[in-house]
Chains A and B, each alone.
Chain A
Amino acid sequence: MNFFLTIILDGLIQASWLFIVALGLTLVFGVLKILNIAHGSFYALGAYIAATAVTMVAARGLPPSVGFVAMLLSVVLIASAIGLLLERGLLKMFYGRDEVVLLLVTYAVFLILEDVTKLIWGVNPIYATQPYELFGNLEFAGLYYVGYDLVLIPISAVVGFAIWFGLNRTVIGKIVLAVIHNEEMSVSMGVRVNRVYAIAFAFGALLAALAGALTAPKISMQPGLSSDVIILSFAIVVIGGLGSVEGAAIGAILVGLARAASVHLMPQAELFMIYLIMAAVLMFRPEGLFKRETARRI
């Protein structure tokens, strides 16, 4: 029994930050129809900004809780600004081009950001470990867990709920949903789609960076951080269904649990597990687990 609880807990911890990254990716895809490869770069950017903020706060002798808050605030501000800037300044120029071209534009952005982060932060490892000790340790099922890891689960649930609520229960959210479902119709109803694009992209960048900030305290920031995250979050979003909040949640939990289960039960299979699930889901439900059927034009 304890064994399964361990798997579930490990899986949920893993799922929590993955969910936030995937949420941003799925939002950007839903609205802009872009599969954003630079999404992983925003994740890395968030982690780096968070580390800088935490270090600056710690250098002033302030407690780690201040560092935690400062890191979240700075990431939210800077990442959404960068997202806005990129969308207005660069991506806008390519709207109307084929989705593959847009995908490659984001790949170019990924390459550029990779070197830009290196130019700003150097290649030496950077840490922000102070917040990791913030919530103490907990004994559970004969194992110690770090409080911070456990706190990530409710945080990601809150973020997920906030996005769901924002989309489904507010006017702006409903406008965004309208654009997701039918862009042409929204335009003819008077929606300023450009503004929705900008908001959605900035939000996507923010979510990726937020996830980066939340994981920053437990890893060491260094070049190459971004490429791994992209492919994982792609898998989650594809499993869940592109453009769906619930799908991202289920996808993240599935991937988290699958990883945890394979590590505990069958360590050799870990490398395949996620891609196998992804391929299987695509084979049987190509639109993902949560995509609503849309009418197609003949």
Chain B
Amino acid sequence: MRKSLHPVVMIALVAAVTLAGRALPTWTLSLATIAASNALIALGIVVLARTGNVSFGQGLFFAAGGYGVALIANAWGLTDAVAQVIVGALCGGLLGLVVGPLIARYSGIFFGMLTLALSMVFYGALVKSTALGGSDGFNVGRPSLFGMSFTDPREADYMLYAISVIVTGFAGIAATILFRSEFGLASLAVRENNLRVEYLGLSANRIISINFLIAAIFAGASGAFALMAQRHIDPQFAYWTTSGEFVFVAVLAGNQSVAAVFVASMALELVRSFSNLYLPNTWQLVLGVFLLGVILFLPRGIGSLWIRDRRKRRISTTAHLTVERGAAP
């Protein structure tokens, strides 16, 4: 993230992208909604990754947000989109509050595997709950906004698009501010060496727990978006491949720019969709080659396509995800 980009500029950028939605063809709107929702959860992974921990179980919070919203929506008829996002974020956040401190003391691959195991236990429980439709899941009604309901499909899609872009955009801005704050820098220090951080009188566990909580809130809100966009939820939300995909978006985006997370997410959706249309028999191969290509030729992620002054601002870059080891100043 370049230093010159003032938050006001970023807000303008978010507004511009939101308005640009009016000109987009209808089918791209829901694609972009999903991309924005994936970007939000990937952003959470980037936030957490700054402490040196990568979660392979964000599906846990994604599903918690989605199921929370879906159950409340069906039980009490809560259809307001904004309220649903808040409920989703709350569900994810509450679970993150419980889980975070428990696993903050693990690091590296163990952290990843533990988050994965937890999300798979949740997945198993969901498949077993026939009251929630088991592995088939269940449907929810169409969301409304401030009492307005949208019958025209395009308007409904645009409403979701706008909300998801705005929420993800503001989450991105908040993340940028967080990264530049004292707390954000302390998180980076935890990644470099958590013992030294402890010697400074800070609690590394606490720093990790708070970052974890932020990631969980983002994931919960993202689950609410995914639910609103597809009106259906099933245990696949918590499956390990779902979580893996979010990590993938984070890595594709790289550490140069928060906007890159959104672009990476959109690029992934487009490649997947078009390869499925034109090469239905080998779309996985295309996706695999695309991913290898990005990792190989854009080692700093898609963000490096438009961000150039990487050396100067390395310390405030968002994640260690693609920084070579030992190269950090």
Contacts and interface: CB of A to CB of B under 8 A. Distances in A.
B128 A271 contact: yes
B299 interface: yes
A227 B118 CA distance: 18
B292 interface: yes
A101 B128 contact: no
Interface string B284-305: 1101110110011001000000
Main secondary structure, interface of A, reads: helix
B195 to A, nearest CB: 5
Interface of A: 35, 90, 93-94, 96-101, 104-105, 107-112, 114-116, 118-119, 227, 231, 234-235, 238, 242, 268, 271-272, 275-276, 278-279, 282-283, 286-287, 296, 298
B128 A98 contact: no
Nearest to A268: B128
B320 interface: yes
Contacts of B283: 115
Contacts of A109: 288, 292
B124 interface: yes
Nearest to B54: A100
Contacts of A100: 49, 54, 247, 251, 321
Interface string B13-54: 000000000000000000000000000000000000100001
Main secondary structure, interface of B, reads: helix
Contacts of A93: 296
Interface stretch (B2-10, B108-116, B136-144, B175-183): B108-116
A97 B324 contact: yes
A231 B120 contact: yes
Interface residues of B, number: 46
Nearest to A272: B124
B321 A101 contact: yes
B72 interface: no
Interface in B114-133: 114, 116-118, 120-121, 124-125, 127-128
A278 B288 contact: no
Given A111-B287, A275-B120, 16 more contacts: A94-B296, A96-B324, A97-B322, A98-B321, A98-B322, A100-B49, A104-B247, A105-B292, A111-B285, A112-B284, A114-B285, A119-B282, A234-B116, A272-B125, A282-B117, A287-B110
Contacts of A90: 292
Which of B121, B195, B322 has the largest count of A CB atoms less than 10 A from its CB? B121
Interface string B306-323: 000000000000001111
Contacts of A279: 114, 117-118, 121
Interface in B201-232: none
Contacts of A298: 193, 195-196
Contacts of B285: 111-112, 114-116
B195 A278 contact: no
A112 B287 CA distance: 8
B240 interface: yes
A154 B62 CA distance: 44
Contacts of A101: 251, 295, 321-322
Given A271-B127, A275-B121, A298-B195, A98 B113 contact: no
A148 to B, nearest CB: 31
A107 B244 CA distance: 9
A112 B106 contact: no
A119 B281 CA distance: 9
Contacts of A111: 284-285, 287-288, 291
Given A100-B321, A115-B284, A271 B251 contact: no
Contacts of A112: 284-285, 288-289, 292
Nearest to A234: B113
B248 interface: yes
29 contacts: A90-B292, A96-B324, A98-B320, A99-B108, A101-B321, A107-B244, A108-B291, A110-B288, A111-B284, A112-B292, A114-B284, A114-B285, A116-B285, A118-B281, A231-B240, A234-B116, A238-B113, A238-B117, A242-B109, A271-B124, A275-B117, A275-B120, A278-B117, A282-B117, A283-B102, A283-B114, A296-B195, A298-B193, A298-B196
Contact of A276 (B116, B121, B320): B121
B325 A278 contact: no
Interface in B63-95: none
B113 A278 contact: yes
Q: 9 closest A-B pairs (Cβ-Cβ)?
A: A111-B288, A115-B285, A112-B288, A108-B291, A108-B288, A279-B117, A271-B124, A111-B284, A275-B120
A275 B239 CA distance: 12
A180 B281 CA distance: 40
A100 B322 CA distance: 9
Contacts of A99: 108-109
Contacts of A238: 110, 113, 117
Nearest to B118: A279
Contacts of B114: 279, 282-283, 286
Interface in B259-299: 281-285, 287-289, 291-292, 295-296, 299
